[in-house]
Amino acid sequence: MSAHVLTRTSRIEGASAEAGPRHAGSLQTSTLFKLFIPVAVFAIAARIYVANVVLPDGLCDDCYTTLRYAANLSEGKGFVFNAGESVWGTTTPLFTLLLWPVAWLFGAKALEIATVASGIAASAVFWSLLLVILEKQRVPRLVSLPALLLVMFSPGFFSNSLSGMETPLVLALMAASFYCYMEDRPIGLGILFGLLLLARIDTLVWIGIVGLAYIIRHYRAERRNILVALSTFFLVALPWHVFALVKFHSLIPQTVTAKAITNNVLHESYGEYIVELCRVYLPGGGMVDTPPRAIAVFTLLAIGGIAIWRQCPLLRPLPVFLLALVACLVFFKVQRFPWYFPPSQWVAYLLGLAGVYLIWNQGLARGQGYAVQAIPFAILSALFAIHCVRGDHYFYQDRAKHNTWIDLANYVTEHTAPDDRIFLEHIGLIGLRSKRPILDNIGLVSPEIVEIRKRCPERWFQESLQKYRPEVAILYGWDLPDYEAEPWSKEDRDWFLSTYTLVNTIEIKANLVTYVYVDNDRLTGSRRAGSH
């Protein structure tokens, strides 16, 4: 492999590749930075435009769980989803605590606007820091520019910035912590690592790998920096975890436990999982429909990782992080939720493009003119542009439609009493809007359901209903007693039909209908109350 795999030629850089590192502050006056500003402004403006159809009620449902925690905090109910129940049911205590003052000052109705605004702002911070990191490490612009444009406009990053989730905040904190790692700022590194752990638990992989790289760099000569970074990390992270241990008797969010129990992709073989992961993880992933093609993709990423490792020593944690995180995803067959991907996707984009650069620019087209060397990147950029426009437009069209979940939320709010317990799966939006006590059949905020699922894996659904007998049960078609694929036993069916009455059906989409059942005792009580 050439010793100049990722150095910049004079045609790319505009100066001799041997001319040493740029002096501090040169980025602010560079042509690239001047071009970045209008592109970033356009990316922000596009998000603000689409936010008009996302707000209100169009955020990711998991986001509304966090918003309900923030709303309850602002109302003095504590860090709870259901009043009086100490359950750590959000994976992002940091984001919850940041939103709490918004709800306290402006009311819960302002939370959706606040979370979308923060997502857009955090995305802009992430782009800016990533630009600085790649420029400081002199990554060729044929590699860095397409990678930057992908994180600014690709559907996964675009939709996540408007989802209301904590993902943009995680990305900004990751980039900021990596900048502190590069610039040897131990206090900032420790603080940002602590905030990352509070932002989302899966950032432990990033913290562990970048932190270990920092220890290796300073173990011999500057151990004081290691101690400073560790001390600030624990000072930031420890208070929350002490609070969590005392209040929730756990250091792990309930959502992690519940999703592990309810994982619906464990039946897939590792080959099937990897192919499907590539399909949803990469631009144009639909073409990766066989294990050999998936292997080819990972080979390209490995080539890019080797190139980065050899030519950009301070970027070495990135390929290690990608390898470790993807290995965790595959080994545990983690459910492919779209907000899990961006914190590592940007690294995959960078390594993939670096792999193309090594194969083409330092291999097949070595010594050719700039026009020839830019050919694959021009083609990829065109394909990426089509991918981004189509995906972002589809996201806009999807969010522009009426969100029928709000119809169900409104029905629950209008036709149930404030203390009626609602048994359902789609807890976020309905929980926030109705403010009713929720019995979550996944177990994200109801650990008692998880225990039943462990004890009675075959009939946990029926057992949960019989044991807790919620006043209202909202079922999907596949939950019904007479569902052909998994019919209930006669005893369970007879009990349910004698206990509950169907009062409404609401079609969410073509293949998803919700059925609202009410306990007969409550229904009779309501009629009696009405007769007076």
Clarify whether residues 462 and 315 are in a common domain: no
Q: What is the pLDDT of residues 72-116, one digit of tens each?
A: 999 999 999 999 999 999 989 999 999 999 999 999 899 999 999
Clarify whether residues 304 and 417 are in a common domain: no
Residue 191: CA count within 13 A, CB half-sphere = 7
Residue 87 lies in a domain: yes
40 or 282, which is more confident? 40
Clarify whether residues 215 and 251 are in a common domain: yes
At residue 63, what is the residue type?
A: C
Q: Domains in the chain: how many in total?
A: 2
Clarify whether residues 342 and 444 are in a common domain: no
Clarify whether residues 272 and 414 are in a common domain: no
The pLDDT of 197-208, averaged and rounded, is: 95
Residue 37 lies in a domain: yes
Contact between residue 69 and residue 89 where contact means Cβ atoms under 8 Å apart: yes
Residue 5 lies in a domain: no
Residue 400 lies in a domain: no
Peptide bond into 291 cis (omega under 30): no
Contact between residue 440 and residue 454 where contact means Cβ atoms under 8 Å apart: no
Final residue before a domain boundary, out of 368, 394, 420: 394
pLDDT at 131: 95
pLDDT at 282: 86
Query: What SS3 class is residue 507?
Result: strand
Clarify whether residues 58 and 168 are in a common domain: yes
Residue 149 lies in a domain: yes
At residue 379, what is the residue type?
A: I
Final residue before a domain boundary, out of 394, 427, 456: 394
Long-range contacts at 281-285 (CB < 8 A, ≥ 24 apart): 281/341, 281/345, 281/348, 282/348, 282/352, 283/150, 283/154, 283/349, 283/383, 283/384, 283/387, 284/383, 284/387
For 219, the domain range is 10-394
The pLDDT of 146-152, averaged and rounded, is: 95
- CB atoms under 10 Å from CB of 275, counted, come to 20
> Measured between alpha carbons, how far is 161 from 338 in angstroms, rounded to an integer?
12
Final residue before a domain boundary, out of 366, 394, 422: 394
- Spatial neighbors of 238 by CB under 8 A, at least 6 apart, are none
pLDDT at 521: 87
Q: What is the pLDDT of residues 463-521, one digit of tens each?
A: 999 999 999 999 999 999 988 888 899 999 999 999 999 999 999 988 899 999 999 98
Query: What SS3 class is residue 291?
Result: helix
Output the CA angle 160-165-171, nearest 5 degrees: 65
Contact between residue 142 and residue 372 where contact means Cβ atoms under 8 Å apart: no
The pLDDT of 219-244, averaged and rounded, is: 93
Clarify whether residues 380 and 490 are in a common domain: no
Q: Which of 213, 246, 214 is nearest to 229 (CA)?
A: 214
Residue 484 lies in a domain: yes
Pairing of strands 422-424, 472-476: parallel
Contact between residue 86 and residue 116 where contact means Cβ atoms under 8 Å apart: no
pLDDT at 81: 95
pLDDT at 246: 94
Distance in Å from the first CA to the final CA of the chain = 87
Query: What SS3 class is residue 503?
Result: strand
- Find tokens 């603000």 and name the residue: 48
Q: What is the pLDDT of residues 287-303, one digit of tens each?
A: 888 888 889 999 999 99
Torsion, CA 278, CA 280, CA 286, CA 287, rounded to 10: -20
220 or 47, which is more confident? 47
- Spatial neighbors of 441 by CB under 8 A, at least 6 apart, are 423, 424, 425, 449, 461, 464
Clarify whether residues 222 and 113 are in a common domain: yes
The answer on pLDDT for 532 being more than 50 is: no
The answer on pLDDT for 203 being more than 50 is: yes
Lowest mean pLDDT among 24-33, 293-302, 423-432: 24-33
Q: What is the pLDDT of residues 331-362, one digit of tens each?
A: 988 888 888 899 999 999 999 999 999 998 88
- Spatial neighbors of 360 by CB under 8 A, at least 6 apart, are 373, 375, 376
Clarify whether residues 295 and 421 are in a common domain: no
pLDDT band at 26 (very low <50, low <70, confident <90, very high): low
pTM for this model (two decimals): 0.90
Clarify whether residues 178 and 238 are in a common domain: yes
pLDDT at 525: 58
Clarify whether residues 353 and 298 are in a common domain: yes
Residue 93 lies in a domain: yes
Residue 3 lies in a domain: no
At residue 92, what is the residue type?
A: T
> Measured between alpha carbons, how far is 190 from 196 in angstroms, rounded to an integer?
10
The pLDDT of 141-168, averaged and rounded, is: 94
Contact between residue 387 and residue 283 where contact means Cβ atoms under 8 Å apart: yes
Clarify whether residues 139 and 232 are in a common domain: yes
Contact between residue 20 and residue 136 where contact means Cβ atoms under 8 Å apart: no
pLDDT at 27: 54
Q: Tell me the H-state helices in 184-248.
A: 186-199, 204-218, 223-248
Question: How high is the mean pLDDT of the chain?
Answer: 89
Query: What SS3 class is residue 500?
Result: strand
> Measured between alpha carbons, how far is 440 from 427 in angstroms, rounded to an integer?
7
Contact between residue 350 and residue 147 where contact means Cβ atoms under 8 Å apart: yes
> Measured between alpha carbons, how far is 140 from 304 in angstroms, rounded to an integer?
13
